[in-house]
Structure 1
Amino acid sequence: MKAIQFDQFGGTDVLHEADVEVPQPGPGQVRVRVRAAGVNALDGKIRSGALQDAFPTPLPVIPGYEVSGAVDAVGVGVTDVSVGDEVVGWSDTGAYAQYALATTVAPKPADLDWEHAVALPVAGETAERVLNLLSVAPGETLLVHGAAGAVGTIVVQLAVARGAHVIGTAGPANQDYVASLGAEATVYGDGLVERVRTLAPNGVDTVLDVAGKGALEDSIALRGGTDRIVTLADFRAHQLGITFATSPKERSADHLAALAQDAAVGKIVTTVRAYPLAQAATAQQVSDAGHIRGKLVLTVA
């Protein structure tokens, strides 16, 4: 099968197309004929070698954690998924490929296309988890740094659905987009504290940093301390006494199925920018640069 892999750490130039063996499902796994794969910021950090201490990665490796496609083989013990089922979930073997193995998958609704489906596993799970971690309640004000990205897009919508007042930071080009999700939008950078205080004169109850662009000090100033601030992207968190949210040990197919159904009927909006699999390096370059609106996706013919 065709796959994108890298044999050494470095820039996006280390990504290349390779012919590799089609993986065989083990117990509890399904094999998915991939139609779309999600691109995440973590993919580029692992590729660069920057996270080798935290996430030791044996080479060569096929990147990618999110997959949507049709099941074409099932392993021993799989009873709730059948060959031919259209699914979305988390890849066990790397999603930048024509085939991938997966243990946790959810049904893909017929009214949800492959690209928008694959925008949900990581962002949806992360959004729900951090909102619970922050105990966001109705009537509270949540500040989201990086509200236009894949996670931010879903966080804003879920928080608004909880009855929270959301303020979202983004670049100038994404102000209308963030506002369309239900947040009050403002630009990041110098003067942020004053702008947020104008939008939330009674203060900010909780803060989520998805961007990792040096906004933690401003967040502490707005909160008056480090309580109820969580970052997903700024590795200075522990130095500042702020919680860094790590990946979960377990994933829920049921939660993903519910989110996919909401997306299919328009209760949750996702925005995607798609590239063919062969342009994985270009997609990762865009991801590495940041300031993404919505989700970057690779399509597999």
Structure 2
Amino acid sequence: MTTMNAVVARGIGGPEVLQLQEVERPVPGLTEILVRVHAAGINPTDWKARASGGRVGPGDFPLILGYDVAGVVEAVGGGVTWLKVGDEVLGMPKFPVLPGGYAEYVVAQSRQFVRKPAVLSFEEAAGLPLAALTAWQGLVDTAGLSAGQRVLVHAAAGGVGHLAVQIAKSLGAYVIGTASAAKHSFVRSLGADEVIDYRSVDFVSVLRESPVDVVFDPIAGDTSLRSVQVLKDGGVLVSILNVEEDAAAEAKRRGIQADFTLVEPDRLALTAVTDLVEAGRLRVELDSVFPLAEAADAHRRGETNAASGKIVLRVA
């Protein structure tokens, strides 16, 4: 077989630009593996790229979106010895270069994958890499979060946020999350010690007298400055989007670290994450699972911002 099915974004536009079509199947080169994709995770960066070009740029279309994949090794390239055909794996390879996860097969470097824990379905595994690595690298590597510290996690019921809450708890932190009232029980089930309804209460007014050591912020915008206002002097604002200028200036004045951090492929961190999964200390909540051919509907679901947990495509 030299071809495969994939969802191709024909150009910048709405979800309707995503079309299922037959494309050339990739072949693994040196140090690479060919993965038969069973499930592919969907992330906000996917629909942002589709809608505006994002990091990929308008000239890169048509293209196959998707960074997160979980599947089975179909073939190995030269030099790969630690994985073999039939192994179940998951990963976020090549980021920020697209591996093309919305497809039946993906090729990438073997050491940007890890073995899939048996306790995870392929759909759950596909929802893990990008979101969990974003949370882990932000909380562990950037913030150095430690036991006893107080951390505020914005959008705590979201794809990244619900994993950040659990990772922070695994580090022994006191976790405060923001979420709509309807999602409070879900966020508490993840281990959050407090949950603030951002729609009815200003989190600044709640936390001004009891500031936090770390804020994990996947929202940015005007949330950046307000987050700085609830941080202790010398604290850390972890933002996965650009920090607004006024927030950066106020942070600098108070000795607060406030940097944009971008996730990277990281086998060691992903192994630490899957260790938490196997220990029963981290779970992936699936908001919804769509067939590959319904990727457009999956994007529509994501763009509502109503999802709790991860949206995933079932491929195999």
Q: TM-score when scaled to structure 2?
A: 0.86
- Structure 2: how far apart are the matches of 1:213 and 1:285? 22
Contact between 2:137 and 2:263, CA under 8 Å: does it hold in 1?
no
Alignment of structure 1 residues 37-186 onto 2, 5 Å: 37-51=40-54, 54-56=55-57, 58-92=60-94, 93-103=99-109, 104-132=112-140, 133-183=142-192, 184-186=194-196
Which residue is 2:247 aligned to? 240
> In the TM superposition, what is the alpha-carbon distance from 1:101 to its structure 2 partner?
1.2
- Structure 2: how far apart are the matches of 1:148 and 1:281? 23
> In the TM superposition, what is the alpha-carbon distance from 1:223 to its structure 2 partner?
2.2
> In the TM superposition, what is the alpha-carbon distance from 1:42 to its structure 2 partner?
0.2
SS of 1:20's equivalent?
strand
SS of 1:228's equivalent?
strand
Change (3 A) 1:117 1:287: same
SS of 1:182's equivalent?
coil
Which residue is 1:2 aligned to? 5
1:56-93: CA deviations, max 9, x gaps?
Answer: 36121000001111111111211111111111112453
Does the alignment pair 1:24 with 2:34? no
Which residue is 1:271 aligned to? 285
> In the TM superposition, what is the alpha-carbon distance from 1:226 to its structure 2 partner?
8.5
Which residue is 2:14 aligned to? 11
> In the TM superposition, what is the alpha-carbon distance from 1:179 to its structure 2 partner?
0.9
| Code of the aligned partner of 2:311 | L
Pick aligned residue for 1:286 from 283, 301, 305: 301
SS of 1:88's equivalent?
strand
Change (3 A) 1:213 1:269: farther
> In the TM superposition, what is the alpha-carbon distance from 1:55 to its structure 2 partner?
3.6
| Code of the aligned partner of 2:161 | G
| Code of the aligned partner of 1:37 | A
> What percent of counterpart residues are identical?
37
Pick aligned residue for 2:227 from 196, 199, 219: 219
Unaligned runs of 5+ in 1: none
- Structure 1: how far apart are the matches of 2:53 and 2:22? 27
Which segment is superposed worse, 102-111 or 216-225?
216-225
Which residue is 1:195 aligned to? 206
- Structure 1: how far apart are the matches of 2:65 and 2:43? 10
Aligned length: 293
Contact between 2:284 and 2:309, CA under 8 Å: does it hold in 1?
yes
- Structure 1: how far apart are the matches of 2:40 and 2:107? 13
| Code of the aligned partner of 2:312 | V
Unaligned runs of 5+ in 2: 249-257
| Code of the aligned partner of 1:20 | V
- Structure 2: how far apart are the matches of 1:33 and 1:238? 44
> In the TM superposition, what is the alpha-carbon distance from 1:225 to its structure 2 partner?
6.6
> In the TM superposition, what is the alpha-carbon distance from 1:212 to its structure 2 partner?
3.6
Contact between 1:32 and 1:71, CA under 8 Å: does it hold in 2?
yes
Contact between 1:89 and 1:102, CA under 8 Å: does it hold in 2?
no
Q: TM-score when scaled to structure 1?
A: 0.90
> In the TM superposition, what is the alpha-carbon distance from 1:117 to its structure 2 partner?
1.0
- Structure 2: how far apart are the matches of 1:213 and 1:16? 32
- Structure 2: how far apart are the matches of 1:87 and 1:62? 20
> In the TM superposition, what is the alpha-carbon distance from 1:154 to its structure 2 partner?
1.5
| Code of the aligned partner of 1:284 | H
1:208-257: CA deviations, max 9, x gaps?
Answer: 11234632222122126795112113x35345314211232xx2324323
- Structure 2: how far apart are the matches of 1:256 and 1:204? 27
Change (3 A) 1:227 1:291: farther
Does the alignment pair 1:260 with 2:274? yes
Contact between 1:108 and 1:257, CA under 8 Å: does it hold in 2?
no
